[in-house]
């Protein structure tokens, strides 16, 4: 039963570590997106600390109290089960994936606590227009599509090499800022799976590395970290204060083969974006006057 429980807790942790930053990244305004998504890593570290403290022998780690320690995992799950149905869906998910503009407006109104969000709605509409009739990406398409391959590799390297360090919170929000709505779920799935797989492989291989290299056992990791830093420094654009559509356009410009197609696509959609913006302004004026 304990092994089965650990399996279920691990599945829950793996899913939540991918879903939380993705939801935060899609729901937060662009000027607060990094800080809001970073809170997921902060509270994850806080939860680990609380688990270590409550696991002390003086608290719940004694022979008579350890069942209560293991059962305490159910408390956050029950809180989530009761409260999550009352939370609004991601505005980007509602508008881009479902095409429900009214529900998106209601979600933005609840999240922003205001009735005027024209600029943010225009940003989401721009991303939707950029996606066109595209469907959700599969795992294989993440690597076969040349325009997404570089972002995938950057996110995987960042997840694998930076977890547990200071930039760990940043790596958790990279897929939310680097991938569009269609590719974002698959990107989180790939990055999260690679993170846990490589943590497992490192844990299994590290004793053999220590036996073979002794006090120099960290040199291979240092080399990989330097390579990853150089790769990220030369390929990853600045995302602070930029919309998701602007970040996507920047990657398309860096992709030599995708530049012409990307610029042509945005040019063809400029008129539709103008019409959508005018429609939004008309709706807001009507709501204000009403």
Residue spans of the domains in the chain: they are 137-178
| pLDDT grade for 82, boundaries at 50, 70 and 90 | very high
Shortest CA distance to 81 belongs to which of 157, 12, 27? 12
* C-alpha to C-alpha distance for 85 and 102, rounded to whole angstroms: 19
- CA-to-CA distance for 139 and 165, rounded, in angstroms? 27
- Whole-angstrom distance, CA of residue 161 vs CA of residue 221: 8
**The dihedral formed by the CA atoms of 247, 253, 257 and 260, expressed in degrees to the nearest 10:** 110
On whether the pTM is more than 0.75, the answer is: no
The CA-CA-CA angle for residues 233, 238, 244, to 5°, reads: 130
- pLDDT per residue over 117-169, tens digit each? 777 888 888 877 766 666 666 666 666 666 666 666 676 666 555 555 555 56
Task: Give the per-residue pLDDT at 83.
Answer: 92
What the block records as the tokens of 81 is: 């089960």
User: What is the Cα–Cα distance from 67 to 167, expressed in whole angstroms?
Assistant: 35
């Amino acid at each position: 039963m304990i092994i089965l429980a650990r399996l279920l807790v691990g599945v829950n942790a793996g899913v939540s570590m991918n879903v939380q930053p993705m939801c935060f990244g899609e729901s937060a305004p662009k000027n607060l997106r990094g800080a809001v998504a970073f809170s997921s890593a902060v509270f994850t570290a806080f939860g680990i600390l609380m688990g270590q403290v409550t696991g002390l022998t003086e608290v719940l780690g004694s022979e008579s109290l350890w069942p209560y320690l293991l059962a305490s995992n159910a408390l956050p799950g029950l809180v989530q089960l009761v409260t999550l149905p009352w939370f609004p869906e991601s505005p980007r998910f509602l508008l881009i994936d479902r095409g429900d503009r009214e529900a998106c407006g209601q979600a933005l109104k609840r999240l922003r606590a205001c009735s005027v969000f024209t600029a943010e709605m225009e940003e989401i509409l721009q991303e939707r227009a950029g996606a066109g009739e595209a469907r959700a990406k599969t795992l294989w398409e993440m690597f076969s599509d040349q325009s997404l391959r570089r972002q995938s590799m950057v996110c995987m390297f960042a997840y694998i090499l930076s977890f547990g360090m200071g930039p760990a919170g940043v790596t958790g929000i990279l897929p939310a800022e680097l991938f569009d709505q269609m590719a974002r779920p698959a990107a989180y799935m790939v990055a999260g799976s690679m993170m846990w797989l490589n943590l497992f492989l490192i844990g299994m291989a590290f004793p053999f590395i220590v036996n073979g290299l002794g006090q120099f056992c960290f040199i291979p990791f240092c080399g990989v970290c330097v390579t990853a830093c150089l790769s990220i420094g030369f390929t990853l654009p600045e995302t602070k204060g930029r919309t998701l559509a602007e970040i996507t356009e920047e990657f398309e410009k860096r992709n030599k083969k995708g530049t012409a197609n990307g610029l042509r696509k945005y040019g063809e959609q400029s008129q539709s974006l103008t019409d959508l913006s005018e429609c939004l302004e008309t709706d807001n004026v009507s709501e204000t006057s009403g």
